[in-house]
Amino acid sequence: MQIFKSANINFIEKRRNFFLFTAFMLLITVFAFIYRGGPNYGIDFTGGVLMQASFQRDVDLQNVRKALEQSKLGSFELQSSDNLILIRAKKNVESQDEFEKAVKEAMRAEFPNNPMAMDRVEYVGPSVGAYLSKQALYAFFFAFVGMIAYVAFRFKSGLWGAAAVLGIIHDVVISFGFVILANKEVNITVIAALLTVAGYSINDTIVLFDRIKENLRFLAKEDFGKVINKSINEVLTRTVVTSLTVFIVASSLFFFGGEVIHTFAYIMLIGTSLGVFSSLFVCAPIVYEWEQRRRNRFKIAAKKGCVGSR
């Protein structure tokens, strides 16, 4: 299957435009952070209580919200589906029992003829939230270090590993910025989605780097920029087809997968697009820029050596 037959696009010549677009996307991330006042952390990280309750008959979510506001529970979030209500309260209760008692009293007063049953109550202490935050940072750190080591070993150069991880950081940071911009709750599912994006991104980058290395062996006398352009054009169809497949699946999950998987699918939609962009337009141009500067320094040093010998 060939979407781009005999593609001959000069990606390296347009690299500065791609770098400017990357800078623009990073500015959006910074704006999102400032505009939203930081991430909207879920109870996984902040501590709090999660309760799932069911009524005998359907209830109006606004009436539930009104009852909980009158009970002075503080900050909380509600989700509903027919007669099921999901209540999330952050950092504003001392214990699970206190939270459960307050909710029961509020619901009994608001819906005296519609009994409520507690299906699930989970309490997450602040210490657990701090532990999960630290573990999430460890997960990203060791994932990045492992990827740098693997790519550096695979291509026998730390430059290629560093460029690949810069692309991953680009994808993860911007994806996280769009999570903040949409004011979606940051929980363990978000961390799992971001790590999935990182894994998908490095796969695309390794395929491209492998093709560049292969072409360098057969086209050693060619200009380095031409070799990179040839390599990108050769893997372009494969990259688009693979990414399009993932994008279609993520789109199906986003529109039809329900609330539980919605944020995960949202991140995958953004991360899949960014993964293609970073592999083709960020990682490869970074390698080109670094190699060109290294070669220029070598030429300058060689010329100085020739002048000195005279």
> 15-36 and 284-309 helices cross at what angle (nearest 10)?
130
What are the pLDDT digits (tens) for 129-138?
677 778 878 8
What are the pLDDT digits (tens) for 206-257?
888 889 888 888 877 788 889 899 999 888 888 888 888 889 999 998 998 8
48-124 domain in CATH 3.30.70.3190?
Answer: yes
pLDDT above 80 for 189: yes
For the chain, give every residue range classified as CATH 1.20.1640.10.
12-41+128-306
Instruction: Tell me if residue 95 falls in helix, strand or coil.
Output: coil
Confidence of residue 305 (pLDDT cuts 50, 70, 90): low
**CA 307 vs CA 55, 121, 299, 300, 303: distances in Å:** 89, 79, 12, 11, 6
For residues 286-298, average pLDDT: 82
Q: 26 or 305: which carries more pLDDT confidence? A: 26
Average pLDDT, the chain: 82
* 8 A C-beta contact, residue 165 and residue 148: yes
* 8 A C-beta contact, residue 228 and residue 284: yes
Percent of the chain with pLDDT over 70: 88
User: How high is the pLDDT of residue 113?
Assistant: 87
Q: Please tell me the CATH code under which domain 12-41+128-306 is placed.
A: 1.20.1640.10
For the chain, give every residue range classified as CATH 3.30.70.3190.
48-124
* 8 A C-beta contact, residue 268 and residue 246: yes
**CA 16 vs CA 50, 124, 163, 164: distances in Å:** 48, 47, 16, 18
